[in-house]
Structure 1
Amino acid sequence: MPSTRSDLWRPVEGLPDHPMRAIAGAVVGNGVRLRIEVGPKNKVGSDYFRITLVTDRSGAADEPVCFGLINRGPFPGFNWVEVTDFQGRFPLAGETVEVPEGIDGNIVKTLGRLVPAGGHLMMEYDSAHRAVTARALAQRVPPVATPLGGMMFAANCGTWFTDWYISEGGREGARKLQGFRAVDAEHAARRGREMLEGLEAFLGRAKDCDWDVQAACIPVAQAAITALRARLGVPDGPLPERPEDRLQARPRI
């Protein structure tokens, strides 16, 4: 986490060319909006940011809800947003409040707006707030069926996922879920078929997961299946065979 020294952080409204200005003041709940500040750069030139929730009733929270990094570059893979720390509980007007699921999802969806085609959104899941996602991934639940992965999928940053569950050399920080935005429609369809097959296979073995993981993840999986089938134009039944499937099925000579 970067320094919390106030002199290192600037309101994003004062940075006219910064990409995070696009979501400054975004509404994420009834009377709840985002206050965004940009901090120093890290060693590779990415900008630190922090987000504080501001409510019409009680004003700004006493602590940020999350810290992260944003990067921009000339190629799709250079454009990403990473949440390095998420506080599911924080002080507000003398009380400790918990981030509601709806606001949580809207924060993720708002950050996803900053990710262009071919870019990615990376979210930590080591915090207490993401404990169910961490346990679900450990029990081989598909990332898109976890609470966090489902929110990333809804933010269009879940065409496919990488689970960074081991910190490389101990230097990479918290465990993270990396969700990618599709490069184009063909890419989205190809990955969507693969994801759909994995989700339907998961529903067949979900009974092997802990009951609370089942309760959290089965509805997310079912919602993703419905969305994917709608995108692929196959509301029910088996997926139509693709030409490449027939080629792969031919015996080798």
Structure 2
Amino acid sequence: MSGSSQGTRVWKPISDEADHELFIANGREVGDGVFLEIELGPKSKVGSSNFQIFLDSKKLGRARFPVVRGLQNSGKFPGFNWLEITYFTDVLEFDDGQVKIPESIDLNIIAVLSEIVPNGGHLMIEYDSIPRKTTARALSAGVPPIITPLGSMMFSIGCGVAFKDWYISEGGREGPRKLQGFKAIDAHHERIRFGQSLDSIEEFMSKFQDLDWDLQILIRPLADATITLLRSKLELPHGPPTRS
């Protein structure tokens, strides 16, 4: 029995809501023969849309339970436009048994959802789940969000011009710990924020050796790749910072 059909039915296919912002993500292919099926739930107290996403595989059929649950909000001003992933699992149950979801599909799901976030909006993703445990460890060790596994993913899809780490839920009402990644308002804003991100990474690298060895192995490639990309975008040479 799928998660949408348990008990009183409160979820409905997004195909019934063609005007909804999430509609463009429905049916998108995120893996070889793997597609997104989105359902909408009741509105939150502030009017945000509850949603859940199932994976439908040509080979395995539809997963019994959702891979993602979250909230989506639209508004007049950029900051009112956001999407939050409150739940993610990398192990799904199909009729033939359990299947581990590869990182490529994880990234593709997030990339598709990021298309709904406009310039100046933000994407929030929980990091309390088991698949995000390395990000949780890295953040608690002081690693800049942009070079954590989750932050690096968010940066790669354009939702990482700046970050806020919600490591303590406000008043206990904000759900799990989450990483908030912002989209740039414009090219000028992007350049300023990229410069700040580069500074924070290069400052952190001076104490990189203080990390646990297993974190060093995971974080170093992300740091090197991000530094190279940021310097390229800022048209800076490799080596020590030269910006005024």
TM-score, normalized by the shorter chain, greater than 0.5: yes
Aligned CA distance change for structure 1 residues 209 and 193 (closer, same or farther; 3 Å): same
2:216 is the counterpart of 1:214 = yes
What residue in structure 1 maps to residue 24 of structure 2? 22
Structure 2: how far apart are the matches of 1:4 and 1:185?
Answer: 47
Counterpart for residue 140 of structure 1: 142
Whichever residue aligns with residue 126 of structure 2, its letter is E
Q: Tell me how far 1:201 sits from its aligned partner.
A: 2.3
Cα deviation per residue 1:90-145 (whole Å; 9 max; x = unaligned)? 21233222221111111111111111011000000001111000000000000011
Match of 2:174 in 1: 172
Structure 1 window deviating more from structure 2 (87-96 vs 17-26): it is: 87-96
> What is the TM-score when the length of structure 2 is the normalising length?
0.94
Q: Kindly state the Cα deviation for residue 219 of structure 1 after the two structures are TM-superposed.
A: 1.2
**Contact 2:36/2:56 (CA < 8 Å) preserved in 1?**
yes
Q: Deviations over 1:20-75 (max 9, x none)?
A: 11111111112211111111100000000001111111111111001000000000
Matching of residue 202 in structure 1 with residue 204 in structure 2: yes
- Name stretches of at least 5 consecutive residues in structure 1 with no aligned partner: 243-253
Cα distance in 2 for partners of 1:180, 1:48 equals: 21
> 4+ runs of 1 displaced by more than 4 Å?
2-6
Question: TM-score, length-normalised on structure 1?
Answer: 0.90
Answering whether residue 68 of structure 2 is matched by residue 66 of structure 1, we say yes
**How do 1:40-119 residues align onto structure 2 when only pairs under 5 Å count?**
40-119=42-121
Q: Percent of aligned positions with the same letter in both sequences? A: 49
- 1:131 is matched with which residue? 133
Q: How big is the shift at 1:7?
A: 2.2
Give the superposed CA RMSD. 1.7
Is 1:150 the counterpart of 2:152? The answer is yes
User: Residue 199 of structure 1 aligns to which amino acid in structure 2?
Assistant: I
Counterpart of 1:241 in structure 2 is: 243
Aligned length: 241
The question of whether the paired residues in 2 share the 8 Å contact of 1:203 and 1:218 is answered with: no
2:231 maps to what in 1?
229
Structure 1 64/208 Cα, relative in aligned 2: closer, same or farther at 3 Å?
Answer: same
Give the partner amino acid of 1:129.
P
1:187 aligns with 2:225: no
* Structure 2, gaps ≥5 residues long: none
Does the aligned pair in 2 maintain the 1:110–1:155 contact within 8 Å?
A: no
